[in-house]
Structure 1
Amino acid sequence: MPACCPGIACSQLAVRPGNPHIAYEGRVAVRADSAVFYWPGSSATISFTGTGATVTMRSLREPGYFYAIVDGDAARAFKFAADSSRRLITVAEGLSDGRHTVQLYKLSNNTSANIFYGINITGRARLHPPGRRPKRGIEFYGNSITAGHGVDVPSGKGDSGAPEFFNQHYTYAALTARHFGARASFIARSGIGVLVSWFPEIMPEVYDRLDPFDSTSKWDFAGFRPDVVVINLLQNDYWLINNPNHPQFKARFGNTKPDAAAIIRAYRSFVASVRGKYPAAHIICALGNMNATEAGSSFPGYIREAVAQLSDKRIHTLFFPYKKTPGHPVKEEQQAMADELIRFISKTVGW
C-alpha cells in the first residue's frame, strides 16, 4: 500500500507504528515497524482525514482485546480481539469527509502482549499532527480491580477472568483519568500483590518494567512524570496470606505467615520506591472495594501505619468501602469508586 507524507492527500495512506504523528499513552514499546502494548489501558491515537481505517495486529501468549474509539465516542466503541495470527482488522468505515481520530485502547490484562504493525487510512487520506498533550498526569498501580477483571461479564454469568471480559476502559482508574482530562498510565495485573501473588511475580518486582515478563526490560520513568500516583494493592495479599497451602505462599513464606510488621514493612518499601521515581507527586495509598476493606480487616490499618512511618505530607490514604457483593466490581461499582476518588483528588490535590 502506498505511503504519503503527512499533510498531503492520498487515495490511501499507510502509517507505520514509529510515525511521530501517532500519540501513544502508557508503557508501549515503539519501534519503526512495530509497537507492543503490554499493560491494560495503554493506547495509540491517530488524527486524520479519511473515510475509514484498518489496523494490522497480532497477540502473544493469549488474545488481547481492544476498543477502537472513533472521534472520542466511547459509547459507540468497536471491541475487537487480536489473536496469534497477524491479520487486518477494520476499525472504522463509512466516515464522513473531514477530520477524525481513532484511538486503539487496550482493555485486557497484561498477560497478553499485543503487536501493532500499523494503520491504513482509506479515502482521500491525510495525516494530522496529534493534539497537545494534557498538562495533568496520573499513574495507577493495581490488581484485578484496576485491570478491569470481569467488567464485561454479562449479568448473571458469574465472575469470569477470561480475556474477553476484561474492560479496563470502565475501571475507576480510567474513569478518574478521563474526568480530569489527564494523561494516564496503568500498571496493573489481575492477581498481583505486594508480598505474594497468585503467580510468581509481585508488584515490587515488575512495577519498573516495560515488558512485565522480562526482568531486563526497564521502563524509563523520565518519559512520564505524573502529578498523582494511586496505589490500590494488597487485596490479593489479604487472600493469600491466609492460604498456607497455596504454592506461592510456600514459595514466599515457607510455613510461616507474615506478621503485621512484615506486611507494613513490605508495603512501606514499595511506596518508598515509587516516591523515589516521582519525588514531587501526590501518592494516594488506596485499598478496596473488595473484601480487604470489609469490617474487621486489618489491612487499612497496615496501610495507615506504613504511610505514617514514611512521614510525607504528599502521601495520603483512601479506603473504598467494601462493596458487599460477590466477585469483582461491575461497571456501577467501578463508577462509585471513581466518584469517590475524583472527590478525594479534587479536595486533596486541588484539581
Structure 2
Amino acid sequence: MQTSPHPARSHASGRGLATALTAVLVACLLSLTGVTRANAAPGDGSVSDPHIAYVGRWDTSSGTTAVANWTGAYLQTAFTGTTVKVKARDAVNFYVSVDGGPDVFHAGVRGTVNLTPQPLPAGTHTLRITYRSGDTVFQGLVLDSGARTIAPDTPSGLIEFVGDSITAGALTDRLALDSYAWKTGERLGMRHTQVARAGYCLVAQSGCTGLSCQFFKSAGTGGTDWDFSRYRASAVVINLGTNDIGHGVSGAAFQSAYTTFLRDIRAKYPNAVLFAVQTLKKRYVTETRAAVTARTNAGDTKVRYVDTSGWLTDGTDYEDGNGHPNEAGHTKFANRLAPVVSTALAGAAVKAAAPGQPGDPNIRFVGRWDTAGSTTAYTPYWAGAYYRVGFTGRTVQLKQRGTIDFWARIDDGPVKFYDDVKGTVNLTPAALAAGRHTLQVNYQVVAGSYRGDAVFQGLVLDSGATTFAPPAPSKLIEFVGDSITVGTTTSQNARTAYGWLIGERLGTEHTQIAQGGACLVAAADGCVGLERQFTKLNPNAATPDWDPTRYRADAVVINLGTNDVGHGVSSAQFQAAYSSLLRKVRAAHPQAWIFALETFRGRYVPQTEAAVQAAVSGGDSRVSFVDTTGWLGSGDLTDSVHPNDQGHRVVADRLAPIIAARIGG
C-alpha cells in the first residue's frame, strides 16, 4: 500500500485518461430507478448508517455497497474511538482527511484499509473519504470496540458544478481535489458536487456525450435517472462549450440546447441560482449570453452569466495548450468565482423575502403549506402543520389576517394558547433578554380543519433585528389518519395527538395528514377518502397535487379504517384501496418505513394485513403491520372511539419504540 499527500505527477497518463474518458453517446437513454436506503442502526458504520453523509451522486440502493458516481463524490461522518478502517471491495484510489487534516492519498488499496496507522487521541473525530479512481465502492467502516459514528456537522448549502475535464480537474496532481470546483465549494463552506467528465460536450454528438441530457442521470454513462430528491442545490455552476466546437455543433444548436438546459435544471432546482460560465477559451460566448437572456426574459430571475475574461494568464496558469488550468490556475479561478457565487446567493436570499416575512428561507414550514398561492400569505393544510424560526432582539409579533386560534412557544418555554386573535399579535408582552431566540407556532385545528383564518402573514421584529435558521431535526415522520390522528377530543388537538407526541419524543419533524371523519375509501355519501386525498395539498380539494419533493419522510404511519364501516365500504374495496395507498406512499417517500396500524377498534384487520403482505411479496420490504390489540383501555378513551390525553400518551409509549427500532431516535 502506498500513502502520500498526492500521487506522483504524470501528465502523459492524465492526457491519456482524458482521451479514454471521451465516450460516444448519440442519444440519451431513458429509465427509472428507485433509490432506497436499507435500515441500519445509527452509529454502526455500515453503508446504511444514517450518520454517514454521502455528498454527490452515490448509488446506495443495495444497502451493502455505496458506489461513487461522477467525479469528486465524497462521504463524511464523525466517529468515537482512536482508530477507523474502511472496507474496499477491490483495488481503489482515494483520499482521506481525518479531523480536517490534509487529504492523504491511498493508492491501489483493497480489503480493510487502516486509515489511522497512528492511533488518534481518545475522543470524537471527523472523517472525509473522497474516491479518485478504481473500484469506487464503499462497503462500510470498522470502528473500535464500543465506538460509534456520530452525525457530522455538514453545511446546509450545496453547490453543483457541471462541466468537462476542466471542471473535473484533469491533468492536475489530485484531479477533482485540485479543481476550481472543489476549491470554490471549500472556500464558500458549502457541500459541493462535480457532475463533470473529460471530453464531454453540452450537445450530444457522435463521439461526445452531451451533458444537456447526461446531467439528469445517476452516472457519467448509462441511462439510469438520478433521483433529484436526494439533495437540493443552492447554486449550479455550468462550464460547458469547450469541446462542442470540435464536434461541429453550430451556434444556433448550442444556444438552443443551453436555453433548454437552463430550463430543465430550473425544474429540478426551483430555488437555486444558476451560473453560466464563459469558457476559458471563449467559445460560444454570444450563444451562452443569449441563453441566459432568454431565461431571464421568461421570468427566471436567478440566472447569471459569468464573464471570466482575464481570470487566467496564458503560459502561467495552464497545464497545456488545450485550456486545462494547472493547480495555480484552478486556485485563481476559485478565488474569482467564489465571491461571484457568494454575492449572488446573498442577493437571492435578500430578494426572496425580508426577515420574518413569507418566503424568508430561515422560516421552516413543516407540513403541507401552500407557499405558492401568495407571496404575502402562507396557508397550512391538514392537521398539525407548524413553523419554526430563530430571531434576534427582544420582542416578536405575529401578523394575522383574520381571527384564529394558535399555539406559540418561545425558546424552551411553556406553550401559550392565543384564543380568537387577529391583526398584529404581541407574543412577548414581557420583553425577552437581548440575544437569539426561537419561535414555534401552530394553528388550532378542529376535526382536522383549521378554525378561523389560518394564514401566516409574517412577523414584526425589533428595529435592526433579523432571523436565523434554528437547528432542525434531520428526520421526519408522517402520520396519516382520521380524527384519532388529528387528536380530536384531546386538550390541545394536534399537539396532544400521538403523532405529535412521538415526533417530539424521537426528536423528528412530524406531519399529520389527517382529517376528522375521513375514510380510506372515498364514499358516495361524502366521506373524504385518504387513498385519493393523500397526494393533495388540501384534504378538501381535488387540486392542486402536493409536491412530494418538498419533504421526504423517514417513516409513515397509517391509521385508517375506523370510519369506513359506517359508509358501506366492503372488505374487498378496503383491501384494494389500502394497497393503492401503500403504493402512493412509497412513490412519495421512497426511503420511508411504512407502518400500517391495526385500528384501535379492530376494523378491517385481515384486509390491512393482506395489503401489507401483498406489498412485501411485491418487493417492498420496508412495510410493517402493527398489531395494536390491547393498547387502549376504557380509561384511555373520551368516548368509545377517541383516545383522551392519557390514551394518546399510551399509544405514543407503545408506538414510538417500534418506529425508533426502524429509523433510530
Distance 1:213 1:82, change over 3 A: farther
In structure 2, distance between residues paired with 1:282 and 1:330: 27
Tell me whether 1:310 sits opposite 2:615 in the alignment: yes
What SS does structure 2 have at the residue aligned with 1:204? helix
Matched ranges for 1:271-282 at <5 A: 271-282=582-593
- 1:34 partnered with 2:377: yes
Superposition map of 1:228-239 within 5 A: 228-238=555-565
State the partner residue of 1:347: 661
Instruction: Look up the equivalent residue of 2:532 and give its one-letter code.
Output: E
Length-normalised TM-score, structure 1? 0.77
Query: Is 1:181 the equivalent of 2:507?
Result: yes
Contact 1:194 1:202 in 2 (8 A): yes
Deviation at 1:231, TM superposition (A): 0.7
What secondary structure is seen at the aligned counterpart in 1 of 2:584? helix
Q: How does 1:19-98 map to 2 (within 5 A)?
A: 19-30=360-371, 31-58=374-401, 64-73=404-413, 76-81=414-419, 87-94=423-430, 95-98=432-435
Cα deviation for residue 107 of structure 1 reads: 3.3
Contact map agreement 1:71 1:101 (CA 8 A) in 2: yes
For 1:339, the aligned partner's letter is D
Aligned residues: percent identity? 25
Query: Equivalent residue of 1:38, what SS?
Result: strand
2:519 aligns with 193
**Pair 1:102 & 2:407 matched:** no
Deviation, structure 1 residue 278:
1.9
The counterpart of 1:335, out of the listed 642, 649, 652, is 649
Task: Give the residue type in structure 2 aligned to 1:128.
Answer: T
2:410–2:440 contact (8 Å) kept in structure 1:
yes
Kept in 1, the 8 Å contact 2:522–2:532? The answer is no
Q: What secondary structure is seen at the aligned counterpart in 1 of 2:461? A: strand
* 1:224 Cα offset (Å): 0.6
Deviations 1:234-271 (A, max 9, x none): 11113x1xxxxxxxx3xxxxxxx443222212212211
User: More displaced, 332-341 or 129-138?
Assistant: 129-138
Task: Give the match's secondary structure for 1:138.
Answer: strand
> Deviation at 1:181?
1.4
**RMSD (Å) for aligned C-alpha atoms:** 2.5
Residues 483, 517 of structure 2: 8 Å contact kept: yes
Offset of residue 133 of structure 1: 3.2
Number of aligned residues: 298
In structure 2, do the counterparts of structure 1 residues 331 and 204 end up closer, same or farther at CA, with 3 Å as the change threshold? same
Say if 1:102 and 1:203 are closer, same or farther in 2 by CA, change over 3 A.
same
Report if aligned partners of 1:48, 1:128 keep a CA contact under 8 Å in 2: yes
Whether the aligned pair in 2 keeps the contact of 1:51 and 1:93 (CA below 8 Å) is: no
Cα distance change of structure 1 residues 167 and 92 upon mapping to structure 2, 3 Å threshold: farther
Summarize the alignment of residues 294-309 of structure 1 with structure 2, pairs less than 5 Å apart.
Answer: 297=603, 299-309=604-614
User: Could you say if the C-alpha distance between residues 205 and 82 of structure 1 is closer, same or farther in structure 2, counting changes exceeding 3 Å?
Assistant: farther
Deviates more, 1:29-38 or 1:227-236: 29-38
User: CA 1:145–1:64 in 2, change beyond 3 Å: closer, same or farther?
Assistant: farther
- C-alpha distance in 1, partners of 2:401/2:563? 31
Give unmatched runs, 5+ long, in structure 1. 7-12, 153-165, 241-248, 250-256
- The correspondence of residues 105-144 of structure 1 with structure 2, limited to 5 A, is 105-109=442-446, 110-112=448-450, 114-122=454-462, 125-144=464-483
Question: In 2, distance between residues paired with 1:326 and 1:196?
Answer: 27
Secondary structure, counterpart of 1:66 in structure 2: strand
8 Å CA contact 2:522, 2:531 repeated in 1: no
Deviation at 1:70, TM superposition (A): 0.8
In the alignment, the residues of structure 1 paired with residue 482 and residue 526 of structure 2 have an alpha-carbon distance, to the nearest angstrom, of 13
Give, in whole Å, the separation in 2 of the partners of 1:178 and 1:263: 32
Structure 1 pair 106–337 and aligned structure 2 pair: CA distance change class (3 A):
same
Q: Distance in 2 between matches of 1:105 and 1:338?
A: 20
* Matched-pair contact (CA < 8 Å) for 1:48–1:125: no
Say whether 1:262 aligns with 2:573. Answer: yes
1:19-46: per-residue Cα shift (whole Å, max 9, x none)? 2221211111124311112222111222
Deviation at 1:58, TM superposition (A): 3.7
Q: How big is each residue's C-alpha offset from its partner over 1:57-105, in whole Å with a ceiling of 9 and x where there is no partner?
A: 145xxx64321111133xx21112457xx52222223212221111111
User: Which has the greater radius of gyration?
Assistant: 2
Q: Distance in 2 between matches of 1:347 and 1:18?
A: 36
| The 10-residue stretch of structure 1 (102-111 or 274-283) with the greater mean CA deviation from structure 2 | 102-111
Shift in Å at residue 54 of structure 1? 1.5
Contact 1:14 1:120 in 2 (8 A): no
Which residue number corresponds to residue 157 of structure 1?
A: none
On the 8 A contact 2:515/2:539 being kept in 1, the answer is no
> How does the TM-score come out when normalised to structure 2?
0.42
How far has the Cα of 1:230 moved from its partner? 0.7
> Which AA in structure 2 matches 1:274?
V
Given that 2:479 and 2:557 are in contact with CA atoms closer than 8 Å, whether structure 1 keeps it comes out as yes
Q: Could you tell me whether the CA contact under 8 Å between 1:192 and 1:199 is conserved in 2?
A: no
**SS state of the match for residue 362, structure 2?**
coil
Give the AA of the match of 1:216. Answer: T
Cα 1:227–1:338 shift into 2, 3 Å: same
Partner Cα distance (2:494, 2:479) in 1: 12
For 1:18, the aligned partner's letter is G
Cα distance in 2 for residues equivalent to 1:192 and 1:306: 19
Shift of residue 322, structure 1, vs aligned partner:
4.1
Q: Secondary structure at the match of 1:126?
A: coil
Query: In structure 2, the residue corresponding to 1:265 is in which secondary structure?
Result: helix
